[in-house]
DNA sequence: GCGCTATTGTCGTCTGCCCGACATTGTGGC
DNA sequence: GCCACAATGTCGGGCAGACGACAATAGCGC
């Protein structure tokens, strides 16, 4: 609650506001990607940044046995991506893949740096954005170290529903991302089987409901009570 | 000049160069902390940033059972700290504690933001610094999810020796931080006992050598071969 | 609708590592 | 130098969750 209020005051640091987006659009090129496409891959030169206009993108790494580990989070419309690796010189260390049809604005590194220099308030925004993501990443490390899998899954569901969920008639959040259990496993550092059985346990307790691959949060409070440190 | 440009483009993004440090010193106050002191705590208002002049600082969170989980890494002389939480509005989520005698330059949030606005190249530096740390945090997540404890310990030793190590006559790196096994456990998400026995296994294989609480890396190559994904 | 592949469901087995317990050694403070 | 407490060494039991295997569905292209 306090969090949401602060966001209202200072602006959500994760998403750009409309004039910031306009700035990016002016120096970039709009591109469409269908669902299931890879936008960039590890080892590529990180010479461009992206603004997500529409759709969702997953940032992940590949482990040696081929598992996809979502190290960042899912990037929403209005967010930028590819920032850290582009600002830090060098190559990409992760992959970006679309989990829905996506529209992006692509900006070259040079143009982006130029606009950061000219519009110093945008530079500050980018810095704050990285700071916010930094915190998230640190929280993730803490959770992986200290929490059991059920807690991590419960938190993930709550976080995703908050960020990408759409409320139904009764105000209950529905996650329309159509993630597979394997996807979810990669986001909380566990296996597909464990996600399946935990999700079924949550269903049995009427905390969530699944229609096809869409997940609806029925009882966020009780779900949150699964989070134990 | 060419020297300054090189630093901006290719220099270690984690540490400030001498003119950047001078800039910070001019707007800050120098303070000394003895070893084992807490510099800031979770829940405090994040209204200042720090430049480490001398010594090492550990950034950690507290788990509910009292364990200290090092979520960032150890901060070296020349690095800044307290950035992310200060730039992002709000409170600290972690603790900063000295692991040696430390000299810091303390800068208020306001003064820091002013200097970022005036000296836009410093703003870019800070952004790149956060980007670099972001990458590190993502790598940490990946490692926690995919790697076994021995791999994580091996990598930690190599990373620390590279960053804070001092070479002996034969060029072998010595870690003088005097970390306890408990400290190390908190950095790689495991328990004290596991660290003890693994470290002994490494000793038996002549990969490392311990004198008191100082660790010397005898065979970095062979140690690296313990890192299996 | 049909068929094929991707996804989900469910079950043992297995194991890395946590956790408690305790002895031993080290070390900083006086 | 001595003492008290902190840190290390070592062991066994226990368990969360990985892993493999396979059946049952679902989803999607045609």
pLDDT digits (tens, 9 = 90+) for B103-159: 999 999 999 999 998 998 899 899 999 999 999 999 999 999 999 999 999 999 999
Percent of chain B's residues with pLDDT above 70: 95
B191 touches strand C (CB under 7 A): yes
Distance from CA of B31 to the nearest CA of A (A): 25
Residues B25, A56: Cα–Cα separation, whole Å:
43
Give mean pLDDT, residues B14-35.
95
pLDDT band with cut points at 50, 70 and 90 for residue A153: very high
CB atoms within 10 A of CB A170: 7
A214 touches strand C (CB under 7 A): no
pLDDT band with cut points at 50, 70 and 90 for residue B10: low
Q: Do B87 and A128 touch (CB under 8 A)?
A: yes
B212 touches strand C (CB under 7 A): yes
The whole-number pLDDT of residue A88 equals: 86
Length B191 CA → C20 C1' (Å): 13
D10 closest protein residue (CA to C1'): B197
Residues A120, B126: Cα–Cα separation, whole Å:
13
Strand A208-211 and strand B80-81: the pairing is unpaired
Give mean pLDDT, residues B83-93.
91
Crossing angle (nearest 10°) for helices A120-146 and B120-146: 20
The whole-number pLDDT of residue B89 equals: 76
Least confident of A20-24, A205-209, B108-112, B123-127: B123-127
């Amino acid at each position: 609650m306090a969090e949401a209020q602060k966001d209202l005051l200072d602006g959500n640091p994760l998403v750009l506001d409309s004039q910031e987006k306009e700035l990016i659009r002016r120096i970039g090129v709009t591109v469409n990607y269908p669902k299931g496409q890879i936008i960039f891959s590890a080892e590529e030169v990180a010479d461009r940044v992206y603004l997500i206009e529409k759709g969702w993108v997953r940032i992940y790494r590949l482990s040696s046995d081929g598992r996809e580990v979502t190290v960042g989070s899912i990037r929403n419309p209005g967010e930028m991506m590819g920032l850290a690796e582009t600002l830090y010189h060098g190559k990409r260390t992760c992959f970006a893949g679309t989990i829905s049809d996506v529209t992006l604005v692509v900006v070259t590194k040079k143009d982006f740096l130029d606009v950061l220099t000219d519009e110093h308030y945008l530079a500050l925004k980018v810095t704050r954005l990285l700071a916010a993501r930094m915190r998230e990443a640190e929280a993730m490390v803490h959770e992986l170290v200290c929490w059991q899998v059920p807690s991590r899954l419960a938190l993930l569901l709550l976080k995703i529903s908050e960020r990408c969920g759409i409320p139904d008639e009764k105000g209950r959040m529905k996650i329309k991302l159509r993630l597979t259990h394997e996807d979810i496993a990669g986001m909380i550092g566990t296996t597909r089987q464990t996600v399946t059985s935990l999700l079924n346990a949550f269903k049995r307790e009427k905390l969530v409901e699944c229609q096809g691959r869409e997940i609806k949060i029925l009882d966020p409070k009780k779900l949150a009570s699964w989070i134990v440190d």
